[in-house]
Amino acid sequence: MNSILTVALNPAVDLSSETERVQHTRKVRTFNERYDPGGGGINVARVVRRFGGEVEALFGAGGELGAMLERLLLEEGTPCRRLPFKGQTRLGHTVQERSTGLEYRFVPKGPAVLPEELEPFVDAVANHGGDYVVASGSLPEGAPPEIYARMAEVAARRGARFVLDSSGAGLRETLARSRVFLVKPSLGELEDLVGRKLDETGVYRETTALVERGAADFVAVTMGIEGAVLASADGLMRLRAIHVSTRSAVGAGDSFLGGMIWALSQHWSTEDAFRFGISAGAAAVMTPGTELCRPQDVFELYEHMSRDDLEHIADR
């Protein structure tokens, strides 16, 4: 199996719970609490491991919560390597309101880092022997915006495929400075990148433009209930969302990316890997709170999909 390195510069411990009703001022009693390792690169690694992939989660963490994050990963069997940060790792909280079915997500900004704290990550990417490097998640405060671009460059020098799932300055600088194998923005992140709202035709145009100018070999845009688009030099593909019973949207994008990268690492075709990613994202929506996709659900959804569900879009 081909090994995959995931990178998380701003991970979290994710707490999820339920309550009957969210209200101001008064105490809101919660129940069914669970703690999960969280953050983009962490979640991608957890998904890959669930499918039996060879993966290592590289992450920065500090304080008591950083130690807890590492313990949670080791307890569930996800290979990981923790690089020290001075600041306390963040704690996210998701609350499901039973009376309405609404979900409330509280996401702290996370600790500030010093640029020198990130240098070991560049070295780790340069020295890792795997075929894929997946950098996923927001940049912590204080991180140079070009840090992902530097990782992409050292990964490319040793022949690895660099995958990016980020937003803001980290996304913008990487696509401006380097070429990546795959970039996976959400629709909102793509709109932030180009500076305007996009309709369906606009998504097709902007993803194609990124491929044509050499920023990425593949651009996958996840659009929630509208499905996803994949652009490459071979053209545009569109998959509609799979209709499932929704419990929580947390981790759907990470599950999509983890499923797709696992499938590519197993030498699946691009079309099949794209379909598998959609299945993994839909399966994540079926699970409560911060729980990620379950392999059995993913394979069942994938097997029920038809190849006719994959639409090839004419050039726009």
Residues noted as catalytic: 254
Find residue 145's DSSP bridge partners: none
Q: Which tokens go with 30?
A: 């919660």
Name residues whose C-beta falls within 8 Å of residue 62's C-beta, 6 or more positions apart in sequence: 84, 85, 86, 87, 88, 89, 111
Q: Please give the C-alpha separations between residue 67 and each of 76, 84, 303, in angstroms, as whole numbers.
A: 15, 10, 39
Cβ-contact 58, 250 below 8 angstroms: no
Burial of 272 (0-12, 13-18, 19+ CB in 10 A): middle
d(CA 271, CA 310): 8
Q: Which tokens go with 167?
A: 């937003």
Cβ-contact 219, 179 below 8 angstroms: no
d(CA 171, CA 193): 8
- Dihedral of CA 137/300/203/162: which sign? positive
Burial of 14 (0-12, 13-18, 19+ CB in 10 A): buried
Secondary structure class of 52 (helix, strand, coil): coil
Cβ-contact 78, 113 below 8 angstroms: no
